[in-house]
Amino acid sequence: MIYKSVVVTRRGGPEVMQIVENELRAPAPGEARIKVLATSVGRTDVSYRYGRSPFSPRTPFVPGYEIVGRIEALGEPRPGAGAGGLDLNVGDQVAALTGQGGYAEVIYLGQEHLVRLPDSLAPEEVALVVLNYVTAYQMLHRVARVKAGGRALVIGASGGVGTALLQLGRLAGLKLYGTASAGKHALLAGYGAVPIDYHTQDFVAALRQAEPAGLDYVFDGMGGDYGERGLAVLRRGGKLVGYAPPSGVAALLLQLARLAWTNLLPNGKSAAFYGISALYMRDREPFMQDLPVLLRLLQAGQIKPVVGARYPLLEAARANALLESGQVAGNIALLAPELLPA
């Protein structure tokens, strides 16, 4: 038996992605074989494909940073290891942060990486929560440690992480500003944020007029000189958190150097770079704690991922092209055929 996956065959645009067939196998000890129901298309997938990130996998590889799926088979327990404290069963719906591998009909993962889900949750919404909302939640509460009443700017507020920051920031009691093109301002305003058009407005000037005392927090999803401009609108004691994927080793080193320099300056401002993969590889426990919190918020209707487009799982190349066009607000979901609208 075979299953299909979408493989990046070489560096380049969406055209380098090809559908390949793979032999289905039994899961190894400690593994689970999972039918993928949903994943999403993110900017890190694009960065990896072009090889812009210092963490880009070697080609060929299967993109896909997170999955929601259903367990088809379980391997025997590894000698001396359990299943991450989970009582997993064939048929369970699960979620996982994968880093790569999600653009496939089937994925094999270590059982310790799986979070079991209630069947009542929609796979596409959970898939968007796994990466984007955990990223936003951890930046807000583990990195910036936001406090109710604070004032925050989200640079690049109309994307998947940006809209998650707006929803979770509103729940945290923040006054929010967000940069986006004019066509996406209604989306931002719907979350209670004050939109700023980065095409026609100088957001530094606009915020200095609106908040002369400065902001408490800036979340920068664009990188480059946006980070320096974000620092300019912080008050003394304010914090900037950057999360835009670095465009190469040199860019990463420059970014880290700028952050270190910012933290040394006597202006009371601080800065940090957030990368969910680095944190997850070092310690899975924060992710395993935070995802259930967000799933409860999702189940209660307190958060709602913005789905800008849905594509069949194997049409990932088309979905990537849409993301790169900049013509979509929110998230792009890749779904198993049975989950697509008729």
Rama region for 209: left / alpha / beta (φ>0; ψ in -120 to 50; rest): alpha
Encode pLDDT of 92-104 as tens digits: 999 999 999 999 9
SS3 69: strand
Domain boundaries, the chain: 2-119+306-339, 132-277
pLDDT reading at 78 higher than 80: no
Least confidently predicted of 27-31, 79-83, 198-202: 79-83
115's CB contacts (< 8 A; 6+ apart) are 94, 95, 96, 288, 291, 292
pLDDT reading at 68 higher than 80: yes
Q: What is the pLDDT of residue 198?
A: 86
Confidence of residue 85 (pLDDT cuts 50, 70, 90): very low
Least confidently predicted of 50-54, 111-115, 252-256, 289-293: 252-256
Domains 2-119+306-339 and 132-277 share a fold: no
Q: Which amino acid, 319?
A: A
Torsion of CA 264, 266, 271, 272, to 10 degrees: 30
**DSSP symbol at 113:** G
Q: What predicted TM-score, i.e. pTM, was given to this entire model?
A: 0.91
Q: What is the pLDDT of residue 254?
A: 67
Range 148-169 average pLDDT: 96
Instruction: Domain 2-119+306-339: give its CATH architecture.
Output: Alpha-Beta Complex (3.90)
Confidence of residue 84 (pLDDT cuts 50, 70, 90): very low
Confidence of residue 227 (pLDDT cuts 50, 70, 90): confident
Please name which of 272, 297, 252, 273 lies closest in space to residue 134, comparing C-alpha atoms: 297
223's CB contacts (< 8 A; 6+ apart) are 242, 244, 245, 246, 247, 251, 255
Distance CA 334, CA 342 (A): 15
Tell the residue number behind the tokens 């779904």, with chain if given. Answer: 335
Q: What is the pLDDT of residue 83?
A: 41
Confidence of residue 244 (pLDDT cuts 50, 70, 90): confident
Rama region for 305: left / alpha / beta (φ>0; ψ in -120 to 50; rest): beta
Instruction: Domain 132-277: give its CATH architecture.
Output: 3-Layer(aba) Sandwich (3.40)
pLDDT reading at 264 higher than 70: no
